[in-house]
Amino acid sequence: MKILLIIAFIGIALFEVPGLIQRKYWRELIFFLILLLLAFILSFLQVIGIKIPSPIKGIEFLVKYLKFWRNM
């Protein structure tokens, strides 16, 4: 599963990077790599079974905290 994930990410990088270097899109390349690294970290943690806190919990807490909206 881990190897499959790494292969998929290498595939994405090979698909995008050569074209960006050829056209000298350095700014695009930097943001592409930052986002890809973020995506890799997130999905890798999921694959090895670490539970990442869901943003839904935060949203639920916020909405329940503003309960006076509901009681209007």
In the complex, minimum distance from the CB of residue 52 to another protein, in angstroms, rounded to a whole number = 5
Note whether 2 and 43 are within 8 A (CB).
Answer: no
Note whether 48 and 2 are within 8 A (CB).
Answer: yes
CA pair distance 35, 31, nearest whole angstrom? 6
Tell me which residue of 1, 2, 3, 35 sits closest to 16, measured CA to CA: 35
Q: Which of 2, 3, 49, 69 binds another protein (CB under 8 A)?
A: 69
Binding mask 40-59 for another protein (x = CB under 8 A): x-xx--x-----x-xxx--x
Binding site for another protein (CB under 8 A): 9, 12, 15-16, 20, 25, 27-29, 31-32, 35-36, 38-40, 42-43, 46, 52, 54-56, 59-60, 62-63, 66, 69-70
